[in-house]
C-alpha cells in the first residue's frame, strides 16, 4: 500500500507500477507486426499441376481408365457447376451415379522430384 506516502508521490509511484504493462503491450505490438511482416514476405512456389475444368476440353486432358473395372461398374463424370454455385461458369467434375467406380488421371506438364528432402 502507498497510503503512507504523500499523495503526489503516491500517484507517481502508481504510474511507475503501471509502466511495465505498457512495455508488455509494446513488445506484443512489435511481435504482431513482426509476424505480419513475415507472412507478407513473398513466397517462391512453383505450380506443377493446375486444372480448372473451365471448358469442355477437360475430357481430352484427362484419361478415364477403361480396363480397371467393367464398363457396367464404372460411373460417368458430369461437367457441372453443381446444384449450389456462386458462378455458373465456374465448373468442375462431379460423380453422377451412386454405387459406381470413378477414376481419372492427367499428365503433369513438368516432372518433379520429391526426394530432395524439401
Q: Which string of DSSP letters, residue by residue, matches 16-43? A: HHHHHHHHHHHHHHHHHHHHHHHHHS--
CA distance 46 to 109: 12
* Predicted local distance difference test score (pLDDT) of residue 8: 58
Distance CA 21, CA 29 (A): 12
The predicted structure's pLDDT at residue 74? 94
Mean pLDDT by 10 residues, the chain (118 residues): 58 47 63 70 78 90 90 93 92 94 91 75
Cα gap 3→14, rounded to integer Å: 11
Domain borders along the chain are: 1-42, 46-112
Amino acid at each position: 500500500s502507498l497510503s503512507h506516502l504523500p499523495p503526489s508521490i503516491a500517484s507517481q509511484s502508481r504510474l511507475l507500477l503501471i509502466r511495465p504493462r505498457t512495455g508488455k503491450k509494446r513488445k506484443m505490438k512489435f511481435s504482431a507486426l513482426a509476424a505480419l511482416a513475415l507472412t507478407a514476405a513473398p513466397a517462391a512456389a512453383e505450380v506443377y499441376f493446375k486444372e480448372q475444368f473451365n471448358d469442355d476440353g477437360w475430357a481430352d486432358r484427362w484419361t478415364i481408365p477403361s480396363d480397371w473395372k467393367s464398363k457396367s461398374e464404372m460411373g460417368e463424370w458430369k461437367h457441372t457447376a453443381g446444384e449450389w454455385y456462386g458462378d455458373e461458369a465456374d465448373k468442375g467434375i462431379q460423380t453422377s451415379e451412386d454405387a459406381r467406380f470413378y477414376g481419372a488421371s492427367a499428365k503433369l506438364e513438368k516432372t518433379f522430384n520429391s526426394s530432395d528432402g524439401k
